[in-house]
């Protein structure tokens, strides 16, 4: 994955709602888009966003971010783009087997409804949203049906699809819904760039990093640090075969009680496992440096992956700074990394927007 930056477009201005530490923003910037500001209600994201993107971080809940403020950020830009990844907690907090009705507490969906209102008021030329795949189920989540209808009424051409980001060069199996909408004409995500024969692998992404013990911090890279394991978890990771092994190889004395129940047998292949060298990693979450939270064991070393490895698997460049060295935290930084839009997916969205605008301009010149 190249971190080469395209030349900055002077006439396309972007605002990133729910920006976090700037994964989406950084991908757009690498594609030459001018992200003038990011908006988020988590002030702990400010350092990373501003340090790496030379863009303004607005510490504010999007519900209190006004259309006037948004218009002022755009100024007289010829092309205005609004992007965002609304928090997905509502989708994880609700039973996936339960339908959500229109009469549900509207506050649960406030971020998406606010996103709709800002679009209606300011009418940006292009809109993009990245979110969890389940949101596409409009019967279960009427808020998305409302979102689509509002875009259509406002004159937008809309496309959306669920993608596995490993098919776009992210070294991670992660399914996300990506929506693109434009007032300029039809718009869609660029075709997939990878398939199962050329997926970017864990080995390619983290194989060059120096060995690390559990609980150790690398002396030259403060982000290359791993969680300290309990004595039991040390025994478990040692007993887990290298390169993709799982708890199926453990002796009974290593099994947690939950594994011994019929309902817990599936856990034996989904948690405490090791990543495979020559495949994309599992989905990087906010608990990605915790051995028992998923298949987050290093393929070879007896530990969970480090913060640096997690960031690389999220396609953050090695130069990306998440906090001053003395403020790096296993819990906070893992949350920042896991919540981010992969930078490479940001680049794909940015390239899709650029191609769309260039096509629209070429068509307009021919008329």
Strands of the sheet containing 12-17, edge to edge, are 56-59, 34-40, 12-17, 79-84, 126-131, 175-182, 157-164
- Residue 322's nearest CA partner among 16, 129, 42, 86 is 42
DSSP string, 245-258: --GGG--GGG--HH
Alpha-carbon distances of 265 from 253, 258, 260, 268, 295, rounded to whole Å: 15, 8, 7, 6, 15
Residue 350 CA to residue 355 CA, distance in Å, equals 9
End-to-end CA distance of the chain: 38
Instruction: List the catalytic residue out of 85, 88, 258, 288.
Output: 88
Task: Confirm whether 19 is a catalytic residue.
Answer: no
Residues sharing a CB contact under 8 Å with residue 178, sequence separation 6 or more, in sequence order: 128, 129, 130, 160, 161, 162, 163, 189, 345, 349
Spacing of C-alpha 315 from chain mean position: 10
Residue 209 CA to residue 220 CA, distance in Å, equals 11
**Cα torsion for 282, 284, 290, 291, to the nearest 10°?**
10
- Residue 277's nearest CA partner among 295, 297, 294, 299 is 299
Helix or strand run (H / E) with residue 169? none
Cβ atoms of 324 and 146 within 8 Å: the answer is no
Handedness of CA 97, 18, 138, 159 (dihedral sign): negative
Residue 327 CA to residue 229 CA, distance in Å, equals 21
Cite the active site residues: 88
């Amino acid at each position: 994955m190249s971190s080469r930056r395209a030349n900055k477009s002077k006439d396309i201005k972007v605002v990133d709602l729910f920006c976090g530490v700037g994964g989406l923003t950084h991908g757009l910037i690498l594609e030459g888009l001018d992200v003038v500001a990011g908006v988020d209600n988590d002030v702990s994201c400010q350092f990373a966003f501003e340090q790496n993107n030379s863009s303004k971080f607005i510490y504010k809940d999007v519900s209190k971010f006004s259309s006037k403020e948004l218009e002022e950020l755009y100024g007289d830009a010829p092309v205005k783009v609004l992007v965002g990844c609304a928090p997905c907690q509502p989708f994880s907090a609700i039973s996936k087997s339960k339908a959500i009705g229109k009469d549900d507490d509207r506050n649960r969906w406030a971020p998406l409804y606010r996103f709709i209102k800002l679009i209606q008021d300011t009418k940006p030329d292009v809109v993009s949203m990245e979110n969890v795949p389940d949101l596409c189920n409009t019967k279960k989540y009427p808020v998305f049906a409302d979102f689509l209808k509002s875009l259509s009424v406002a004159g937008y051409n809309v496309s959306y699809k669920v993608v596995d980001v490993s098919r776009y060069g992210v070294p991670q199996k992660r399914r996300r819904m990506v929506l693109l909408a434009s007032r300029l004409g039809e718009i869609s995500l660029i075709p997939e760039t990878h398939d199962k024969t050329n997926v970017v692998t864990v080995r390619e992404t983290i194989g060059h990093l120096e060995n690390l013990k559990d609980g150790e911090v690398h002396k030259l890279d403060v982000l290359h640090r791993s969680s300290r394991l309990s004595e039991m978890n040390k025994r478990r990771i040692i007993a887990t075969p290298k390169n993709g092994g799982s708890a199926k190889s453990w002796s009974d004395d290593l099994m947690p009680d939950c594994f011994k129940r019929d309902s817990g047998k599936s856990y034996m292949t989904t948690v405490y496992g090791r990543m495979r060298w020559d495949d994309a990693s599992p989905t990087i979450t906010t608990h990605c440096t915790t051995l028992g939270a998923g298949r987050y064991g290093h393929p070879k070393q007896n530990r969970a992956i480090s913060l640096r490895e997690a960031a690389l698997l999220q396609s953050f460049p090695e130069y990306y700074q998440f906090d001053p060295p003395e403020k790096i935290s296993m819990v906070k930084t893992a949350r920042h990394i896991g919540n981010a839009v992969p930078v490479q997916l940001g680049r794909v969205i940015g390239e899709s927007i650029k191609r769309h605008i260039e096509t629209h301009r070429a068509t307009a010149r021919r008329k």
